[in-house]
C-alpha cells in the first residue's frame, strides 16, 4: 500500500506543487489538502509548505494557524501524526504551538534567497533518518521572516534534549538565535525548518543538488516500516 502524504495549500502558498513533486519522487503519493478542509482525508503524514499564507498579514503564519484544516492537524500531530513545516509551514507550526519559539523578521530587514549550508544535528526524527548526525548539506533558503527566537530556557531545553534538528553553517542568514535552522518536537514526529528541501531533490532543478530528498525518503521508510 502506497504511503499518502498530504500537502496543505493556504491562500498565498507557493511551493505546494514542488512539495508534491518531491513526495512523488521519493515514492509516496502526494495528496492535495485545501486549507478549508475539515479533515485530513486519512493521510499518513502532512507537509505544510512554503509561501506567504494570507500574505503574511498580521504575522507570518498567524492567520493560517486558524484555518479549518489546522484543527484536525493539531489534534493528530499531538497523537503522533508526522508533520513537516517548511519555511511558512515552520512559522505556522510555531503559531499553532506545535513547536516552541517564534519567527521574526530577518535581522538585516531584507528578503534573502540563497543556497544555504546546514548541519544535521538530529537524524532520529521521522523526517531525518536518511541523514547522519553531523552531516553537512546545502538547501535553498528564501524568506523575509526567518529569524528563529525563543527565551533562554526554551533554547537550553532544545539543546539539552537534542531537539535542534538543523543549524546554519558558515553564515547565519537571518539572525536566528544559536544558528538554529530547524527544530523538532520531543516526540520527533513534528519538524520545522526555514530552508526548502523540496527545491533540492533533482540534479537539474532548483539548487542542482539532491540534498533535500532524504526528508521525503525518511518519512516514506518510517511509514512503510511502521
Which residues form the catalytic set?
87, 196, 198
Report CA torsion sign: 128, 129, 134, 139: negative
CB 70 within 8 A of CB 8: no
C-alpha 53/C-alpha 88 separation (Å) is 7
DSSP 206: T
Number of alpha carbons in the 13 Å side-chain half-sphere of residue 211:
20
C-alpha 182/C-alpha 101 separation (Å) is 11
* Secondary structure E strands in 24-134: 29-34, 45-48, 83-86, 102-104, 112-120
Amino acid at each position: 500500500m502506497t504511503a499518502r502524504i498530504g500537502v496543505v495549500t493556504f491562500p498565498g502558498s507557493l511551493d505546494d506543487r514542488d512539495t508534491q513533486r518531491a513526495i512523488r519522487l521519493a515514492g509516496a503519493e502526494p495528496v492535495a489538502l485545501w486549507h478549508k478542509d475539515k479533515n485530513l482525508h486519512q493521510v499518513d503524514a502532512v507537509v505544510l509548505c512554503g509561501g506567504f499564507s494570507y500574505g503574511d498579514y498580521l504575522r507570518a503564519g498567524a492567520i493560517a494557524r486558524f484555518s479549518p484544516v489546522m484543527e484536525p492537524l493539531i489534534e493528530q500531530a499531538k497523537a503522533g501524526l508526522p508533520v513537516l513545516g517548511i519555511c511558512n509551514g515552520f512559522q505556522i507550526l510555531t503559531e499553532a504551538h506545535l513547536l516552541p519559539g517564534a519567527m521574526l523578521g530577518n535581522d538585516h530587514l531584507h528578503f534573502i534567497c540563497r543556497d544555504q549550508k546546514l548541519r544535521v544535528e538530529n537524524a532520529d526524527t521521522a523526517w531525518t533518518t536518511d541523514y547522519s548526525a553531523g552531516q553537512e548539506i546545502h538547501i535553498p533558503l528564501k524568506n523575509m521572516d526567518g529569524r528563529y527566537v525563543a527565551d533562554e530556557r526554551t533554547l537550553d531545553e532544545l539543546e539539552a534534549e537534542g531537539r535542534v534538528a538543523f543549524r546554519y553553517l558558515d553564515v547565519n542568514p537571518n539572525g536566528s538565535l544559536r544558528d538554529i535552522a530547524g527544530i523538532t518536537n520531543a516526540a520527533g514526529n513534528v519538524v520545522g525548518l526555514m530552508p526548502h528541501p523540496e527545491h533540492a531533490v533533482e540534479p537539474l532543478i532548483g539548487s542542482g543538488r539532491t540534498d533535500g530528498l532524504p526528508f521525503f525518503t525518511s518519512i516514506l521508510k518510517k511509514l512503510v516500516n511502521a
